[in-house]
Structure 1
């Protein structure tokens, strides 16, 4: 299985938006296609915000990962949040998530990221197991959010 990773380009827009809709549906999150397209354009046209990577099997796109940059004094500089990580259902549980997390760790080093963060739904047993196997740990804190 030949997995590769490419950086998002505008020609990928329709396919990425389709996968984003599927990701949100799978997780039970609301999805506003107009706002999502606007945010996709803003995010991908400003490299200081992060990167969007496509996961490819040969030349076919089978998933994506959004790496959003932040800054943390606690972690001594740039940190990043794996904001969305999606693999199409037919390609799950085949080691692709494992390869993707290895790739993103390597890329993060190149981008001078000091810490990677992510959220995972408690019911997603496979993802929880994968993240633990890759060294992600709970920091015994609770992520809290206020929408502005």
Structure 2
């Protein structure tokens, strides 16, 4: 299957929100629809800090992927971060996620992004294998630390 990526725009907010709600429920993320909307709406309205892509046919997407951006002096330019990726359960384990990650890499590198990162739960072996197959490696020199406000 060709995992077409469709850059989500304002008209796609409903489909994107529905997919994200399903993903967040599946992951046990405690989010209100208001919080979800605050995170997704700017992406489809063109905020320069990230983008959301629907996966599959635009009229009946099978998933989505969100990438955010940051500037890195040491990497000499823009970095991308895969923030969320979701595929409907019925289409998983068919190589679609691999195709999406590869396509996203080509799109982003063509737009000048120098590096693509992803955070993966240590216990999520399936996701870790997916990213390892696609050239992602642990950075043994750095730890990802967080502070919420």
Q: TM-score, normalised by structure 2?
A: 0.91
- The answer for the alignment partner of 1:72 in structure 2 is 72
| Runs of at least 5 residues in structure 1 that lack an aligned partner in the other structure | none
Distance 2:22 2:29 in 1: 10
- The answer for the alignment partner of 1:14 in structure 2 is 14
Structure number with higher strand proportion: 1
Structure 2 matches for 1:99-138, cutoff 5 A? 99-138=99-138
CA contact (8 A) 1:65 1:83 kept: yes
Determine helix, strand or coil for the equivalent of 1:116: strand
Give the Å deviation of 1:58.
8.3
Distance 1:120 1:44 in 2: 24
CA contact (8 A) 2:10 2:45 kept: no
Distance 2:57 2:63 in 1: 9
Distance 2:9 2:65 in 1: 14
Give the Å deviation of 1:91.
0.7
Give the Å deviation of 1:41.
1.6
- The answer for the alignment partner of 1:42 in structure 2 is 42
User: Closer, same or farther in 2 for the Cα pair 1:142/1:28, shift >3 Å?
Assistant: farther
Determine helix, strand or coil for the equivalent of 1:122: coil
CA RMSD of aligned residues (A): 1.6
